[in-house]
Homo-oligomer: A and B are copies of this chain.
């Protein structure tokens, strides 16, 4: 037996980008965005943090690959039927629900355009807009409007998820938010005061659908 510090055994099963991405998703889902570090990831994969860089360019690359994996699954499972308008609702709800279960996906979509997941969503929405009979010249704007609305909600939901745990009473928290918004000068915030009650107990998913419907109604006026 020697005194020299023993190097760890080399891992038997080869690492791969897929395995790394799956491990990252597991960490993100169970412990949140902040918990995903290369050290935590390396520990979970029983390897050195540097090994990950052999398969993944950097943290942004890793996050985009994880987001793409989730969105791919969602898109594969979305049931497109009952006409193009309902199909768009289904696609949008698919993304919404994915963000609900994987809030970090929301942050990623909202803050990183040009990733593969964005192309997938755009494609799915665009095809349904064509089926809906939206004139060709208006299709890009219509798709981008729906997409941007979805991304806006995505960012907000990701932020809301970051509070989970720290905030136990959602209504009380939202009440304190509304109070802070209006406190600088209550007479300056008549609208916020009016909707404060609805803010406290509104259903995010239902409000999301209402927004999609509003944009669809607007698209319906296009000729």
What is A's interface to B at a CB cutoff of 8 Å? 107, 110-114, 116, 118-120, 122-123, 126-127, 130, 139-145, 147-156, 158-160, 177-178, 180-182, 184, 188-192, 194-195, 198-199, 202, 207, 210-211, 213-222
Contacts and interface: CB of A to CB of B under 8 A. Distances in A.
B211 A141 contact: yes
A75 to B, nearest CB: 10
Contacts of A199: 140
Contacts of A159: 111-114
A116 B216 contact: no
B144 A155 contact: no
A189 B75 CA distance: 13
A192 B139 CA distance: 11
A96 to B, nearest CB: 12
A48 to B, nearest CB: 27
Contact of A192 (B122, B145, B207): B122
Contacts of A130: 191
19 contacts: A111-B158, A113-B155, A114-B177, A116-B184, A118-B181, A119-B178, A119-B182, A120-B181, A123-B188, A126-B192, A139-B195, A148-B153, A151-B151, A152-B154, A155-B155, A213-B218, A214-B218, A217-B218, A220-B221
A212 B8 CA distance: 59
Contacts of A160: 113
A216 to B, nearest CB: 7
A210 B145 contact: yes
Given A116-B180, A207-B144, A191 B126 contact: yes
Contacts of A151: 110, 151-152, 155-156
Given A127-B190, A151-B152, A219-B214, A195 B110 contact: no
Contacts of A211: 141, 144-145, 148-149
Nearest to A209: B141
